[in-house]
Amino acid sequence: MIALKALKGASWLVFSRFMGRAIDFIMLPILARVLTPSDFGLAALAMSLVLIIDTILEVPIAQALVRLEKIDRKHLDTGFTLGIIRSCIVSLVVLVLIWPFSLLNDEPRLVPLVLFIVLGSVAKGLVSPAMVHFMRQLGFVQTFIMEFGGKLCAFAAAMVLLYFGATYWAIAANYVLAAVAALVISYILAPYRPRFSLARLNDFAAFVGWYSAAQLVSALNWQFDRLLVGIGSDKASLGRYAMASDMATMPTQSLIGPALQSVMAAFSLIGNDRERLKHAFLKAARFAMLISVPACVGISLTSDLATALLLGPKWDDVAPYVSILALAVLPIPYFQTLYSVCLATDRPFLAVKVNMIDLCLRLVLLTAGFFIFSVLGVTIARLVLAIIMFGIYLHYARWLVGVSIAQQTKNLWKIGVAAMMMAICVEGLRMELTTVNLPALYELAVVAPVGAFTYFLVLFALGLRLTIGRSRMELFDRY
């Protein structure tokens, strides 16, 4: 029953993120054709500073409340108060850092842009804490309404600004207005009368402490490459790299990330039963990789077609970056599953350790790659880092839930074989189509269904089956 409730919740979250990405897909070609890579680079640089501060100072109010057996009004008040404090600190830190940051990059336009973008981070910290009631019941319809409503309002506003020549301000407005609209919608869906209190601070303290440490390292991990490219090269190069990175991470952001919010809630319900947790982790990891692997491999194989179709000819240089980075994000869903278990079982310190290892390797590999091969070197270094980190994820999953590396490999090998057969089929088909010289849209319309069909056909031939019933939902091996 828990599995089905988690599946329903995950379905709504995935649908929410999918619809949000659908809006992005509509907006992306418009922005790419109106704005220049330099505009995207400037916006990416401003966003990097804000997102690092925002991530480091994030207070996991919803996650902290989900893991509690019972919550009362004082828990909500404490969560709201922590959100207010967090938003104030984010604003102050940005005010302190924005001037030296603009001087370091020799870009005075960063000052007003960052000051505007930080309003979105402030709004994110003030969402109604009463939304947690829906999460605890594994019901995420309200989350869908909040997220999609915010995206829709932001899209409309960004298009209006773009029409009046707002350039890179349209990108910033999209981020800020999505957060503000979601904030308003959250209080409509989950009414809550704000009240200042820290009466239940002890229930947050230990969790927030380790979580904040993990977020500090995670923020540096996720934004270090953009800061490195932004400081060491021109804005146009950063714009191309940021665009490629965003395209490559779409599968994990759109599908796996939101789905695992409900999985974490399900993990919390069985956290004290080690055997059930072990099986739940294997199932969740398998589902995550089942969906993300073909998406990432498919993007890598058709990066030139996707960039030509979505971005236009002035972004042709992005395709090689997308091809490499799409493979570099393959292990991320596995880590997201592991991370959900860490939070659900009150072991955020493990996430800190893994992120610290990632950061140390990232600082060395990405810096070396940039100084040897510039932006291309950074993309290659990220792929090397991903391979190393996947082995580390396997090791820590064994320690956390008691699943041996052999069991984890057995859990995933059929997905790997199916992905390799899909790659061979798609590459062979594309070689045959070179003589036909089809437009990008038509070629993508041919190879994408063939690749997907090959992937699932191989899985079926290897005996992988999906069972959905009233009380259970799982993948199983027929042989």
Answer yes or no: are the C-beta atoms of 181 and 153 closer than 8 Å: yes
Lowest mean pLDDT among 23-37, 268-282, 364-378, 445-459: 268-282
**What value, to the nearest 5°, has the Cα angle with vertex 87 and ends 259 and 222?**
50
Q: How far apart are CA 59 and CA 57, in angstroms?
A: 6
pLDDT of 265: 60
Higher-scoring residue by pLDDT: 291, 429: 429
Return the bridge partners of 465, or none. Answer: 476
The average pLDDT across 357-370 equals 95
Interval 58-67: pLDDT, tens:
777 777 777 6
pTM of the model: 0.81
pLDDT of 393: 96
Interval 40-98: pLDDT, tens:
999 999 999 998 888 887 777 777 777 677 888 888 898 899 889 989 999 999 999 99
Task: Tokens for 70, please give them.
Answer: 């019972």
Among candidate residues 381, 260, 247, the one with its CA nearest the CA of residue 306: 247
- Residues contacting 442, CB < 8 A, separation 6+: none
Which amino acid is residue 382, in one-letter code? R
pLDDT band at 473 (very low <50, low <70, confident <90, very high): low
Answer yes or no: are the C-beta atoms of 383 and 259 closer than 8 Å: no
- Residues contacting 238, CB < 8 A, separation 6+: 40, 41, 44, 45, 226, 229, 230
